[in-house]
């Protein structure tokens, strides 16, 4: 029986993962106009924790600036880019039946995201679903976020459930790697707009309706 469902946020609850990917590429092009966009594989950017992201941005930019300086410039750029984003429009509303079913069955719900806690709360409140979740856990709370499994192991501990009693829905390679390293059955939300390796997931779904069907099957 399933006792808990753990959700990644970006790319799962809200379709922001690819939006982030686009903004990161635009930032790199702004900082390094000479970069060969055809020959450069930007896919490794997807699903990275913030510390990993700043390292990767610095590599693509070809800069010797400190990570703090890269962080400062990117956060300023990202804040402007996100001013026009409506999370309600990006919210995967077919997720709601899963949340309602879980509550009706006494199944605990959690978010385990590499995003900052403040950003997670902002998104969940914007989508009017914050109150569904028993645990909200940020990558800020661990020394190393995904693909390190600590974020999932700590979430399991807070939920007071074991890995074999939980299921998670992820999308990125790093997120899937973290969940699997924690021993959790993992459903991957299929991403077709970028070349993401999702092969380590136990299940691959086209939408949340399909994920809901798998969850119900696993709960029997």
Indicate whether 195 and 144 sit together in one domain: yes
Indicate whether 10 and 24 sit together in one domain: no
Indicate whether 52 and 7 sit together in one domain: no
Indicate whether 109 and 212 sit together in one domain: yes
Indicate whether 101 and 123 sit together in one domain: yes
Percent above pLDDT 90 for the chain: 66
Indicate whether 68 and 108 sit together in one domain: no
Q: Look at residues 51, 81, 111 and tell me which one is the last residue of a structural domain.
A: 81
Write out the residue range of the structural domain in which residue 106 sits: 2-14+86-217
The whole-angstrom separation of Cα 61 and Cα 38 is 15
Indicate whether 118 and 158 sit together in one domain: yes
Indicate whether 134 and 185 sit together in one domain: yes
The whole-angstrom separation of Cα 137 and Cα 8 is 10
The whole-angstrom separation of Cα 173 and Cα 27 is 22
Tokens of 104: 């009706």
Indicate whether 24 and 47 sit together in one domain: yes
Contact between residue 145 and residue 10 where contact means Cβ atoms under 8 Å apart: no
Q: Could you tell me which of 55, 48, 177, 52 has the C-alpha nearest to residue 114?
A: 48
Contact between residue 103 and residue 127 where contact means Cβ atoms under 8 Å apart: no
Query: How sure is the predictor about 107, in pLDDT bands with cuts at 50, 70 and 90?
Result: very high
CATH number at residue 101: 3.40.50.1000
Residue 43 has pLDDT above 90, yes or no: no
Indicate whether 153 and 135 sit together in one domain: yes
Terminal-residue alpha carbon distance, the chain: 7
Q: Are strands 135-138 and 166-170 parallel, antiparallel or unpaired?
A: unpaired
Indicate whether 57 and 148 sit together in one domain: no
Q: Look at residues 81, 103, 125 and tell me which one is the last residue of a structural domain.
A: 81
Q: For the chain, what is the mean pLDDT?
A: 91
In this prediction, residues 19-30 reach a mean pLDDT of 88
The number of folded domains in the chain is 2
Q: Could you tell me which of 123, 171, 134, 135 has the C-alpha nearest to residue 14?
A: 123
Each residue of 184-202: pLDDT tens digit?
A: 999 999 987 777 889 999 9
Q: Look at residues 61, 81, 101 and tell me which one is the last residue of a structural domain.
A: 81
Indicate whether 204 and 168 sit together in one domain: yes
């Amino acid at each position: 029986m399933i006792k808990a469902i753990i959700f990644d946020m970006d790319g799962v609850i809200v379709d922001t993962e690819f939006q982030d990917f686009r903004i990161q590429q635009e930032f790199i092009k702004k900082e390094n106009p000479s970069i060969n966009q055809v020959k450069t594989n930007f896919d490794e950017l997807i699903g990275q924790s913030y510390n990993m992201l700043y390292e990767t941005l610095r590599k693509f930019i070809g800069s010797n600036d400190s990570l703090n300086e890269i962080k400062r410039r990117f956060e300023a750029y990202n804040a402007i880019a996100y001013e026009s984003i409506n999370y309600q429009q990006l919210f995967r509303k077919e997720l709601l039946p899963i949340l309602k079913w879980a509550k009706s069955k006494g199944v605990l719900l959690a978010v385990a995201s590499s995003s900052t806690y403040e950003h997670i709360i902002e998104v969940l409140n914007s989508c009017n679903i914050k109150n569904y979740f028993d645990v909200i856990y940020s990558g800020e709370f661990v020394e190393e976020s995904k693909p390190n499994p600590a974020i999932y192991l700590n979430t399991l501990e807070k939920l007071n459930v074991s890995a074999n009693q939980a299921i998670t829905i992820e999308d990125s390679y790093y997120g899937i790697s973290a969940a699997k390293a924690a021993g959790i059955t993992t459903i991957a939300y299929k991403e077709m707009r970028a070349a993401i390796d999702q092969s380590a997931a136990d299940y691959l779904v086209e939408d949340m309706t399909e994920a809901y069907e798998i969850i119900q099957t696993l709960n029997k």
